[in-house]
Amino acid sequence: MVTILSSNGTAEIDGASADSEGLWVPARELPRTGWELRPEGACRGDLCVPIPRGREREFVRGEASGRMFNLTALAELRAQPVARSERGDVYAIGEPGDQRASVLRGGEAPDFALPDLAGRTHRLSDYRGQKVFLVSWASW
Amino acid sequence: MITVAFDSGGAEAVRPWIELAKPTHPALIDAEHLVSELYEMVNVPMAVWIDETGRIVRPAEPSGSSDGFRQMDRKTFALAPEIMAEYGRRAQVYKDALRDWVRRGPASEFALSADEVSARTRVPSDADARAHASFALGRHLAQHGRAQEAQACFAEAVKLAPENWSIRRQALWFESPEAPGGPKFWSAVDALGARPYYRPVRMRGLDES
């Protein structure tokens, strides 16, 4: 079993295997990482990343229920950072720095959803129409 | 006002503070330091001002804090009266600026133009993005009883993003939750030498005239 940490949360994936080409995830398990395979490519919500023509075998192998997808090849294609545990059983796949950067440069406040002490989720966008003073602190 | 606690200890870690402060504003808990990553808030306290339409009018900056704490007596936590007074003055200047913006909106000199916001915004580099991935991996390993592997990930994150004190200090907390502000923290601060711990605040009356 391989644990994958991403913006989609934590997913524990059975049947994944790593080799020199990357981390191969059963295509049927892929949605648990936020991605799915569609005719147009690897998609997450509205975002679709076409598989580069001529490089299909770096990304997809096997047929039908045995189909595997190379998740770290996708990460590399999207310039997503990948951190892997020494044992190779946990992968953290981040968001591309340039994507974060272009959002920030655009000047629009990126949305997020976080819980309060009571466990209630607040979205920044819930406060649209009000000024927001967003301030960080920590107990440490 | 929305406060965000960059605390991987989650509700348990922040509960005593929030219960004592009894805030009337949303006090959110960010165990994964997501807001830190989204806004390049690399330290605490730092703040971002967001207008009614969801536009940033002041990008992440220390909310009036300064490096005066570096003169602290590290046993008693005492600060010389003149440093305490300067802390009070800076807090007042910052709060007055915030109130000015709340009252006057875009007419406030403290609400920056889109160009100025863009010019002042620090954006994450590839190394910063990689640091966050290493940090995420370290947190997971630490929370699953793999402290030694976690520390290696945190060390990597710190190497990639040495100015990200939220990551550095959270890593120290994982290492010793009882004393995250111990000698290792102070030696990291001392290693800065003449470089700042808190970046200057570009605001009239603070680090800009």
**What ipTM is given for this predicted complex?**
0.96
CB atoms inside a 10 Å sphere around CB B83 = 17
Distance (Å) from the alpha carbon of B193 to chain A's nearest alpha carbon: 23
Query: Euclidean distance between the first and final Cα of chain A, in Å?
Result: 34
Using 50, 70 and 90 to split pLDDT, how confident is the model at B181?
A: confident
Give the pLDDT score at A64. 87
Give the pLDDT score at B209. 80
Cα–Cα distance for residue pair A100/B19, rounded to 1 Å: 34
Among A98, A100, A132, the residue with its CB nearest the CB of B37 is: A100
What are the tens digits of pLDDT across the range B41-85?
999 999 999 999 999 999 999 998 899 999 999 889 899 999 999
Mean pLDDT computed over B148-175: 97
Cα–Cα distance for residue pair B29/A139, rounded to 1 Å: 11
Give the pLDDT score at A116. 98
Q: Do B56 and A109 touch (CB under 8 A)?
A: yes
Give the pLDDT score at B189. 96
Among B9, B39, B53, the residue with its CB nearest the CB of A139 is: B9
Using 50, 70 and 90 to split pLDDT, how confident is the model at B171?
A: very high
Of the ranges B67-76, B99-108, B125-134, which one carries the lowest mean pLDDT score?
B67-76
Give the pLDDT score at B179. 85
Query: What part of B 132-191 touches A (C-beta under 8 Å)?
Result: 132-134, 136-137, 140-141, 146, 149, 152-153, 156, 166, 169-170, 172-173, 180-181
Query: What part of B 24-43 touches A (C-beta under 8 Å)?
Result: 26-30, 34-41, 43
Q: Which residues of A touch B63 (CB under 8 A)?
A: 135
Strand partners, A123: A113
Give the pLDDT score at B21. 96
Strand partners, B28: A116, B4
Cα–Cα distance for residue pair B193/B67, rounded to 1 Å: 12
Using 50, 70 and 90 to split pLDDT, how confident is the model at B169?
A: very high
Which residue ranges of chain A lie beneath pLDDT 50?
none
Mean pLDDT computed over B126-143: 97
Q: Do A109 and B136 touch (CB under 8 A)?
A: no
Distance (Å) from the alpha carbon of B96 to chain A's nearest alpha carbon: 13
Closest CA to B9 of B179, B185, B170: B170
Distance (Å) from the alpha carbon of A131 to chain B's nearest alpha carbon: 5
Return the axis-axis angle of helices B147-160 and B126-142, rounded to nearest 10°. 170
Q: Which residues contact A111 (CB under 8 A, 6 or more apart)?
A: A123, A124, A125
User: Phi, psi at residue A113, to the nearest 5°?
Assistant: -130, 125
A112 CB within 8 Å of a chain B CB: yes
Among A83, A100, A101, the residue with its CB nearest the CB of B137 is: A83
Q: How far is CA A30 from the centre of its chain?
A: 11
Give the pLDDT score at B167. 97
Q: Do B180 and A140 touch (CB under 8 A)?
A: yes
Sign of CA dihedral A112, B63, B93, B14: positive
CB atoms inside a 10 Å sphere around CB A101 = 19
pTM: 0.94
Mean pLDDT computed over B183-204: 95
